[in-house]
Amino acid sequence: MAAGSPGPSNVAIMNTAMMHGRGPALALVAGVVTMSTCWGLIAATGVSTLLASNANALVVLKVGGGLYLLWLAWRTARSAATPDKPTKDAASRSPRALALYGWGVLMHLGNPKSVLAWVAILSLGLKPDAALGTVAVAYGGCVLLGVLIFPGHALLFSTAPMVRGYARARRWIESALAVFFAGAGIRLILSR
């Protein structure tokens, strides 16, 4: 549920798939999955407990993530304010795969929901004295779900009907995304 629930990463994957197509969305997915896997490893090894107990580290992560979401909101609002251009121009403006990969890593790095979801999942599913094999199976299962869910969004939202719908409602969708990113960023910065 954590990987599939609406959040900055899923929304960005869907938007990228509709705007730039399957390949760029999958590059973004690769970054998200990479960082999600890292957060999972951190949670599985118990380092997340140290992070959760260190208030300063959480504040830095929270404020940095919130500012990053506000920056995404500004970029998305700016894009929503631009008039529609012919489709062939949009394809030529598609970001590079490496930039999208980095964006996915940064977005998931600055999203405390990710690490807290991993901590919650592993702490609910595992006992404190769980064997290493049990931890590895739980971790691997969660990684597998992310590897299936995140690309699933990219594949679904890059289909022709979704792309056509996006083309018709691009400015409205990007305006809603800007509001979503701004709200998430502000909520993250102000959360306790």
What integer pLDDT is reported at residue 97 of this predicted model?
Answer: 93
State the average pLDDT over residues 25-33.
Answer: 96
**What residue spans of the chain are helical by DSSP H?**
8-20, 22-44, 47-53, 55-81, 87-92, 97-109, 112-125, 132-157, 160-190
What is the pTM (predicted TM-score) of this model?
A: 0.72
pLDDT, tens digit, for every residue of 58-96? 677 678 777 877 887 888 888 888 887 655 444 456 789
b/e 110-132 (16+ beta carbons within 10 angstroms → b):
bbbbbbbbbbebbeeebeeeeee
Q: Is the sign of the CA dihedral 104, 156, 160, 78 positive or negative?
A: negative
Model pLDDT for residues 150-172, shown as the tens digit of each residue = 999 999 999 999 888 887 888 88
Does residue 29 register a pLDDT over 90? yes
Residue 112 above 80 pLDDT? no
C-beta atoms surrounding 30 within 10 Å:
18
C-alpha 192/C-alpha 187 separation (Å) is 10
pLDDT recorded at residue 5: 64
State the Cα–Cα distance between residues 164 and 169, nearest whole angstrom: 9
pLDDT-derived band of residue 124, with 50, 70 and 90 as boundaries? low
